[in-house]
Amino acid sequence: MPPPEKLLTELTKIGGRQPRTHALWVDERDTPADIDAKRDRLIAEGRARPDDTFVCVRWKRPGEA
């Protein structure tokens, strides 16, 4: 078993994670509920955490004005 100092250091490193920024690709037809669902899906998949920053990137399909 590792010494207690090493365990304490590892626990401290785990808790010190900096929030990340994630881009949510949304189009004009997405409702606020759709956008929240995309954010929640990333969190549920373990790819993001609730304290991360989420930025909505709007895009248009070919042929949309």
Residue-level pLDDT at 15: 57
What global pTM score does this model have? 0.67
Residue spans of the domains in the chain: they are 19-65
Residue-level pLDDT at 30: 92
> pLDDT tens across 6-55, in order?
777 776 665 567 889 999 999 888 999 999 999 999 999 999 999 999 99
What DSSP assignment string belongs to the chain? Answer: ---HHHHHHHHHHHHTPPP-EEEEEEETT--HHHHHHHHHHHHHTTS--TTSEEEEEEE--TT--
As a whole number of angstroms, the distance between CA 10 and CA 56 comes to 34
